[in-house]
Amino acid sequence: MKQKLTAIYAVMLFFSAVYSYAGQRDGKTNGFLDWIKMDISTEVRLNLRSLGITIPAGRNMAENQLFSEYFSQIRPFIYSIPVDSSSVLGDLVKQGELSPETVDKLVFNAKAVPPSISTDIQDITASYTISLNAVCSVLVDHSGGANFMHVIDPEPVASYTGIIIIAKEALPVHGKNTSAYLAPCLFPKIWDTEMNLVFDKTMTEPHIFHESMMISYMGSDHIFKRTPSGLSPEIEKIVGNRPLRIIAHAVFGISPTDPIIDSDDARVILSSDINKNLLREGRVVIITSDTVLKTNLK
pLDDT at 10 over 60: no
pLDDT in tens, 78-96: 999 999 999 999 999 999 9
Residue 161, judged by CB atoms within 10 A of its CB (0-12, 13-18, 19+), counts as: middle
pLDDT at 14: 44
pLDDT at 143: 59
pTM over 0.85: yes
pLDDT at 7 over 90: no
What is the CA angle 174-177-180, rounded to 5? Answer: 65
pLDDT at 4 over 80: no
Compute the distance between CA of residue 288 and CA of residue 217 in angstroms, rounded to an integer.
7
pLDDT at 26: 58
pLDDT in tens, 282-292: 999 999 999 99
pLDDT in tens, 154-163: 788 999 999 9
pLDDT at 24: 43
pLDDT at 17: 41
pLDDT in tens, 106-136: 999 999 998 999 898 888 999 999 999 888 8
pLDDT in tens, 131-140: 998 888 888 7
Compute the distance between CA of residue 234 and CA of residue 225 in angstroms, rounded to an integer.
11
pLDDT at 54: 80
Whole-Å CA distances, 193 to 146, 190, 244, 256: 21, 10, 18, 15
Name which of 47-56, 153-162, 240-249 the model is least confident about: 47-56
pLDDT at 35: 96
Average pLDDT, the chain: 88
Residue 227's CB is within 10 A of a number of other CB atoms, namely 11
pLDDT at 49: 82
pLDDT at 298 over 60: yes
